[in-house]
Structure 1
């Protein structure tokens, strides 16, 4: 009789716990869906985030470049050198070139860390930012000029649209592209 009561008790607990788990799982799912940002992600917000991303990447590049210089200097500090040439050059020139190369390599690693930091800080709207970025790059690709007719007096305006940080910049870029096309047509 006791085992029969324990069996009933176990069945009641398992039914209630699965129902409770389903309810709490639905609440968590609803909470995740309710954190969606407004579907209207304007171009001004996109350009603001694009500028922020470039600023973060530049800052991260500066920090990693300085880190590369410091690491290289730390490694060079342990080297004993005489007045003998290194690789056929003066040792001061070789060591200073090594420090500069270490800083340059560190600078190149900056955007990797900067992009990760940007993604972490803006993960709520990152999906919308990426959609706008694809739209922006498609517009740039459609509207940009053919660089085969460039010259010193008629340079190509910002081929990849890297300097566009506002709608006014975009409009100016379009005007520059039209002026380039007109000059290329008139002078060729």
Structure 2
């Protein structure tokens, strides 16, 4: 692009694009820290739980509305059970199936909400799960009095929880070694 400068001379303005191709530097946030990772993990878990509750209620209401519109003979048993009991069981099963659908919707909402840091979260999550896999004890030596601590690390939401999980795993190993 040419512009007219001082005393009528033309000069070019250097065009240097300020585009960076790695997503972490473009947002200015840098890599995802462990504290931020655990916050996102907790947020994902809560969103999945809440969406499970809503879809569970929706599933039971859908089942209830369907069963309310069909004609059932109350004197004739269904599979050998009272029809009212079967309808109540069907409403409960509809709610449970709805609750199971909830985490799919919750993970979709989480991905939409955290689009900018999703790749970093997934990288950190795979690294975290590989650490869990390498650090967790062998479950073959568990017993009723010595249960294995949180095998998949589902209740680890902070560095403090992770350190406590490591201590629990070491205690499990020590008890399993002493009592076998």
TM-score (ref. length: structure 2): 0.85
The DSSP-based 3-state class of the residue aligned with 1:141 is: helix
Q: Which has the larger radius of gyration?
A: 1
C-alpha spacing 1:101/1:137, structure 2 compared with 1 (3 Å): same
Aligned to 2:35: 44
Q: Is residue 37–residue 124 contact of structure 2 (8 Å, CA) maintained in 1?
A: yes
Q: Structure 1 residue 41: deviation in Å?
A: 1.2
Contact 1:37 1:124 (C-alpha < 8 Å) held by counterparts: no
Q: 1:72 aligns with which of 56, 63, 67?
A: 63
Gaps of 5+ in 1: 1-22
Deviation at 1:153? 0.8
- Once the two structures are TM-superposed, the CA of residue 88 in structure 1 deviates from its matched residue by 1.5
Give the Å deviation of 1:36: 3.2
- Decide which of 13, 19, 27 is 1:30's aligned counterpart: 19
Q: Is the 8 A contact 2:31 2:120 kept in 1?
A: no
Residue 87 of structure 1: how far off its partner (Å): 1.8
Aligned residues: 163
The gaps in structure 2 that reach 5 residues or longer are 1-14
Partner of 1:181: 173
Distance change (3 Å), C-alpha of 1:148 and 1:76: same
The residue that corresponds to 1:137 in the other structure is 129
User: TM-score of the superposition, structure 1-length normalised?
Assistant: 0.82
* Structure showing the higher helix proportion among its residues: 1
